[in-house]
Structure 1
Amino acid sequence: MEAIFSRGPSLNNRLAIAIVLSIILIVVDNKLDGFQSTRMFLNSLMSPLQYIANLPSLMLNASADQLTSQQQLLEENKRLTRQMLLASEKLQRFDVLSRENEELRELLDAPVSRNMRKIVAELMSVDRNPYSRQIVINKGTLDGVFLSQPLIDDSGIIGQVMEVSTTNSRVLLITDVTHSIPVRSLRNNIRFIATGSGGKNEVFLEHVAHSVDIAVGDVLVSSGLGGVFPAGYPVAKVTYVDKDEGREFARVTAEPLAELDRIKYTLLLELNP
């Protein structure tokens, strides 16, 4: 029994017929554009299959783009964080420099006499001895500093130089127990001696009689006696008065007007000859 598909034209004839039909179809499509609608239909029919075929590639590309974008965002975030930290550090330094500049301006604008030479000094260290109130500044004999030279800040008298070396000096604050300064009341010009208490922000007025007119709130300024501190500079404000008759003298304490616990810059005074 012969196969059904073995009947018909030979293979050579089939090939020739296929070639002729192909040439005819090519000529018709090229010259007459007769298969445009058919081609559009076939393209529309095959487009979903093409999309499905390209879907894995699209998903891989999208994932790669997403990972790239995320990595870029992370790097950008790190870069911005570094920039923010640098800007914050610069801003903090700017704030500190701005405050120091204001302090220096206040020092230079302090009410110093015209014939007074001014030397700006910066705090180097604070004495750790709890029984003394001393500091070290960064000016010495090379800068013209001398023993007993008075110092002030923008609010009042700080103390006087007690030791001098070539590049730095040790200063005795007015609150040290060994320090005394002649003062007078700005309200009535009564004179006193203010002696350090050893505390951070307190001085005593020595040998104040019960009959002396002194009250809380009185401002004490340097009297100029003794030849160390020039006259007229703020020293302290009276904070406590106790006129107990059982004691020989009244107990009077005052708070220094200078910020002795926050010293950064000081001004050394020298009366020119």
Structure 2
Amino acid sequence: MAPPRNRRPGFSRRAQYSLFAGYVVAVAGSLVGAVLLALSTLDPVAFAALRASVAEVSTPLSSGLAGIGRGIGSIPSGIGSYFAVHDQNAALRKQLAAQHALFLRARSLSYENRRLLALLQVRERISEPVVTARLVSSSASSTRRVAVLNAGSWQGVASGQPVRGPEGLIGRVLETGPNSARVLLLTDPESVVPVRRTRDGIPALATGRGDGLIDVKSVALTATDFGPGDVFVTSGIGGIYPPDVPVARVLHRGRDASIARAFTQADTVDYALVQRAFIPPAPPIPVPTPAPKPVAAPRPPKKKP
């Protein structure tokens, strides 16, 4: 049924008052708007003062209402954060318990290692530092990658000694003078360093490319996959370089070979440490096994007369 066209409130006084109040508010709003428009046009200074006064009065109220709105709106996120923090706390407690178990195991292994070393009287051979000197120059455009050290034979520097910086290995001394020495950098094609991968001990060889990078080639009997971020340190095999000195980090994925970047760049290093050549521990001397003594044959018993 269609609604009647007559929308008069009839005899309901409440409806009449509501309609009258609506008219009054509309007329009053129109008058106030007209007055403010005229005031802003005729007297901008007075209008600006009035606007500032209204803003001062309404700011606390609007701030309170905004705070109430933010508080109501943050209730769902707060509930979600509570459950998320509870789950994260449980996961962290579990991880802490696992790390504590690993810590106890590592401490036990460290104690056992020290005890065995003391029992076997094993002496670790660590390369002693010779001198700390400044790298005064390095070749960046030549095919040979060498640097000049401002220390030489008068300071105890000798050919073949390893040179390292704060971040890792730089190279080895190539030749010396009285107060200077030439250092063969890791990136030189003539540089070959025995290395191993830190996460699993896979042996490899780090060879310079001549372009500022290093080729890392596996020498393991099985196929080896290299991934970006693999770290290689010196293995100590063959002498010269002490073990566990950072050498390079792999840049690209490869199989049995990959390209890496040295941790230490000679053109960014001010001072370098020259060490004595590393001497690997000598193989154990075999102890001769004494030959067994021949067993004498038993004598026959004497006959009585």
Asked whether the 8 Å contact 1:116–1:270 carries over to 2, the reply is: yes
Counterparts of residues 56-205 of structure 1 (less than 5 Å)? 116-127=128-139, 130-200=142-212, 202-205=213-216
Over aligned residue pairs, what C-alpha RMSD do you find?
2.3
- Structure 2 length normalisation: TM-score? 0.47
CA distance in structure 2 between the partners assigned to 1:183 and 1:174 by the alignment: 12
Asked whether the 8 Å contact 1:152–1:268 carries over to 2, the reply is: yes
Which residue does 1:237 correspond to in 2? 249
CA distance in structure 2 between the partners assigned to 1:128 and 1:238 by the alignment: 21
Which residue does 2:274 correspond to in 1? 268
Q: Report the Cα offset of residue 251 of structure 1.
A: 3.6
Specify which structure has the bigger relative contact order, considering alpha-carbon pairs within 8 angstroms and separated by 6 or more residues: 1
Which residue does 1:206 correspond to in 2? 217
Structure 2, unaligned runs of 5 or more:
1-124, 280-305
SS in 2 for 1:195: strand
Match of 1:253 among 259, 274, 289: 259
Which residue does 1:224 correspond to in 2? 236
CA distance in structure 1 between the partners assigned to 2:175 and 2:189 by the alignment: 17
**Does the C-alpha gap of structure 1 residues 232 and 128 become closer, same or farther in structure 2, counting only changes over 3 Å?**
closer
- Aligned-pair identity in percent equals 33
CA distance in structure 2 between the partners assigned to 1:227 and 1:114 by the alignment: 11
Superposed CA offset, 1:101-160 (max 9, x none): xxxxxxxxxxxx876224111122223652111011110000000111101110000000
Q: Report the Cα offset of residue 218 of structure 1.
A: 1.1
CA distance in structure 1 between the partners assigned to 2:258 and 2:193 by the alignment: 15
- Give structure 1 regions of 4+ aligned residues with deviation exceeding 6 angstroms: none
SS in 1 for 2:226: coil
**Does the C-alpha gap of structure 1 residues 115 and 270 become closer, same or farther in structure 2, counting only changes over 3 Å?**
closer
CA distance in structure 1 between the partners assigned to 2:160 and 2:226 by the alignment: 29
Letter in 2 for 1:203: I
CA distance in structure 2 between the partners assigned to 1:115 and 1:253 by the alignment: 29
Structure 1, unaligned runs of 5 or more:
1-112, 244-249
SS in 2 for 1:206: strand
Q: Report the Cα offset of residue 242 of structure 1.
A: 2.7
Letter in 1 for 2:168: G
SS in 1 for 2:260: strand
CA distance in structure 2 between the partners assigned to 1:272 and 1:180 by the alignment: 15
- Structure 1 length normalisation: TM-score? 0.52
CA distance in structure 1 between the partners assigned to 2:154 and 2:214 by the alignment: 33
CA distance in structure 1 between the partners assigned to 2:278 and 2:156 by the alignment: 12
Aligned length: 154
Letter in 2 for 1:182: P
CA distance in structure 1 between the partners assigned to 2:278 and 2:251 by the alignment: 35
CA distance in structure 2 between the partners assigned to 1:119 and 1:197 by the alignment: 29
